[in-house]
A and B are shown apart, each in its own frame.
Chain A
């Protein structure tokens, strides 16, 4: 390949290599800056990704919806329309495979099962990356807080804009989980 062509091709590749992460940042910043905040009650579990490090998997309490529609099968991508309940936590009001015309925010989810009129699903934003020393401590902290009913519940603070959901923080006993695990016992 002539040097000039090689340079042109390389320039295109280089732009893509910078552009893709920039686009990822733009989409997420957009949701963080201008999205509506919702709270999702959750439970953290601590696994590892070989390249991206430690994270906690969030198992949300909002994980099912009763519907007459029997066409849902495992693996379907769905939209879960949400609103805040009396205590200010997100709850599902409708689910659908396509966008529907209601004035509610929605989040993406995947169907796990359909049984007896209930669709069980998992929300897609289920990862919260943490410093490697803190992920396990976070899981333990959750277990402690959960057994102590006087403390608040654990929830994820999620910013949502047009279906794009970005986790802003995970809150445990009223403070961010990173700070909570650093508290002296």
Chain B
């Protein structure tokens, strides 16, 4: 137990908030609780140790020792792998502690990478980096279900993203679509879901809550090929999907800062829609330019179906009244796009109204929850929208002036009402 906590208890006794007996009880309660918890520090050191040793081995092998014979190099390639397997096998067989499993699994993960990398060096195997990463992921991803290891999951997500980017962006030869990235993510989801349902407030879940949408955001770019116009629509749907995942009933008790899906989804949606408040974007995005039979189209449709399913599930569980505008923003965009794409200024106006409404809705959510961060986020959306419109020179000065005044008044009123309400709430609490 931390000394800070003990000090706080002493202060509470001194100020006569709690009795010394109660302080004793509290102290004993936390002492027993701490015994049940595995030693976290030990686990962190174990994992970091394995991580450093493992990557150190890879780096040393990357030196490419010329003086060794092929046989020596080959034996060297297998030694870390065998050690890793023995350690991991031992921790599985004896069902050892989480620390054991995490550390041995991490070491094994890197030793697999070292083994295939050294064999590639010895025989000058020409495969590109992406095929090397692919072999590595395939050989290590199943470990996460045997060891239930957070670190292996994390490494698998990072490597899969690297693989997708390498294959889709950086491969000069021929850009390929990293379909296998989707398979890897599907393989990871059951593990993540189990964590969510078991221990949603743990730090590991928070890390995955952020890492998974970040990985998806980066990797989706690798799926955008020649039809890059469709890329914007793919991203709008992806962010809609993330937001709706963040709104699933399972996240209901999660703090906003721990809900990466919600934040990335919301920010992404707002930024992209903001771009579409410009007329220029609509001129660029005429559907006549699309090729319909390509990977972008399949991904778009796939994302759309999944997003609508997730959205439908939320309605089914929570009821239609809880739906916020952020959850349906991507559908509104798709609708506007499908119906009005060729109607000149009309879609631009609708998207402007949509972004404005999103800002207002964020302000409303912030006001209802007394959350100043969300309130300010809403105000920020509205202000940026107004600033963007300032650059549209074809809008009359009178209209722009009116908009600015409206926003100014809005800022003033919102803050005033919120502060007043907070004041009256505080008064009520004091009376109690």
Query: Which residues of chain A are within 8 angstroms of B121 by Cβ–Cβ distance?
Result: 52-53, 55, 129
Q: How distant is the Cα of A52 from the Cα of B174 in the complex, in angstroms?
A: 22
Query: Which residues of chain A are within 8 angstroms of B145 by Cβ–Cβ distance?
Result: 1, 9
Q: B142 touching A49 by the CB < 8 A rule?
A: no
Q: How distant is the Cα of A130 from the Cα of B121 in the complex, in angstroms?
A: 8
Query: Which residues of chain B are within 8 angstroms of A10 by Cβ–Cβ distance?
Result: 88-89, 92, 143, 146
Query: Which residues of chain A are within 8 angstroms of B143 by Cβ–Cβ distance?
Result: 10, 13
* A128: interface (CB < 8 Å): yes
Query: Which residues of chain A are within 8 angstroms of B62 by Cβ–Cβ distance?
Result: 49, 51-54, 132
Interface 9-mer from B110-118, B241-249, B313-321, B387-395: B110-118
The smallest C-beta distance from A182 to any residue of chain B, in angstroms, reads 9
Q: B124 touching A129 by the CB < 8 A rule?
A: yes
Q: A126 touching B126 by the CB < 8 A rule?
A: yes
Chain A 99-133 interface mask (CB, 8 Å, partner B; 1/0): 00000000000100000000000001111111110
Residue in B92, B120, B129 whose CB lies within 8 Å of A7? B92
* A20: interface (CB < 8 Å): yes
Q: B66 touching A178 by the CB < 8 A rule?
A: yes
* B202: interface (CB < 8 Å): no
8 A Cβ contacts from A11-36 to B: 11, 13-14, 16-18, 20-21, 24-25, 28-29, 32
The smallest C-beta distance from B389 to any residue of chain A, in angstroms, reads 44
Query: Which residues of chain A are within 8 angstroms of B112 by Cβ–Cβ distance?
Result: 17
Chain A contact residues: over half helix, strand or loop, or mixed?
mixed
Q: How distant is the Cα of A54 from the Cα of B63 in the complex, in angstroms?
A: 7
Q: How distant is the Cα of A20 from the Cα of B119 in the complex, in angstroms?
A: 10
* B77: interface (CB < 8 Å): yes
Q: How distant is the Cα of A20 from the Cα of B115 in the complex, in angstroms?
A: 10
8 A Cβ contacts from B116-135 to A: 116-117, 119-126, 129, 132, 135
* A183: interface (CB < 8 Å): no
* B65: interface (CB < 8 Å): yes
The smallest C-beta distance from A122 to any residue of chain B, in angstroms, reads 8
Query: Which residues of chain A are within 8 angstroms of B95 by Cβ–Cβ distance?
Result: 3, 6
Q: How distant is the Cα of A11 from the Cα of B85 in the complex, in angstroms?
A: 9
* B74: interface (CB < 8 Å): yes
Q: B85 touching A14 by the CB < 8 A rule?
A: yes
Q: B89 touching A21 by the CB < 8 A rule?
A: no
* Chain B count of residues within 8 A CB distance of the other chain: 44
Query: Which residues of chain B are within 8 angstroms of A151 by Cβ–Cβ distance?
Result: none
Q: A13 touching B146 by the CB < 8 A rule?
A: yes
Query: Which residues of chain A are within 8 angstroms of B140 by Cβ–Cβ distance?
Result: 17
The smallest C-beta distance from B96 to any residue of chain A, in angstroms, reads 11
Chain B contact residues: over half helix, strand or loop, or mixed?
helix
Q: B88 touching A49 by the CB < 8 A rule?
A: no
Query: Which residues of chain B are within 8 angstroms of A55 by Cβ–Cβ distance?
Result: 64, 121, 124
Q: B126 touching A52 by the CB < 8 A rule?
A: no
Q: B66 touching A130 by the CB < 8 A rule?
A: yes
* B211: interface (CB < 8 Å): no
* A90: interface (CB < 8 Å): no
Query: Which residues of chain A are within 8 angstroms of B348 by Cβ–Cβ distance?
Result: none
Residue in A7, A75, A125, A129 whose CB lies within 8 Å of B64? A129
* B173: interface (CB < 8 Å): yes
Q: B63 touching A132 by the CB < 8 A rule?
A: yes
Q: B139 touching A13 by the CB < 8 A rule?
A: yes
Chain B 151-189 interface mask (CB, 8 Å, partner A; 1/0): 000000000000000000000011000000000000000
Q: How distant is the Cα of A150 from the Cα of B34 in the complex, in angstroms?
A: 78
Interface residue ranges, B against A (CB under 8 Å)? 58, 61-66, 74, 77-78, 81-82, 85, 88-89, 92-93, 95, 108, 112-113, 115-117, 119-126, 129, 132, 135, 139-140, 142-143, 145-146, 148, 173-174
17 A-B interface contacts by CB (under 8 A): A10-B92, A13-B146, A14-B89, A17-B115, A18-B81, A25-B74, A52-B120, A53-B63, A54-B64, A74-B174, A125-B124, A126-B126, A127-B125, A129-B120, A130-B66, A131-B64, A132-B62
Given A13-B146, A129-B124; 15 other pairs, CB 8 A cutoff: A3-B95, A11-B89, A17-B115, A18-B85, A21-B81, A21-B116, A25-B123, A28-B123, A49-B129, A52-B117, A52-B121, A53-B61, A53-B62, A54-B62, A134-B66
Interface residue ranges, A against B (CB under 8 Å)? 1, 3, 6-7, 9-11, 13-14, 16-18, 20-21, 24-25, 28-29, 32, 49-55, 74-75, 110, 124-132, 134, 166-167, 178
Kindly list the 10 A-B residue pairs having the minimum CB-CB distance in the complex, ordered from nearest.
A53-B62, A75-B174, A28-B123, A129-B121, A131-B66, A167-B124, A21-B119, A52-B117, A14-B85, A10-B146
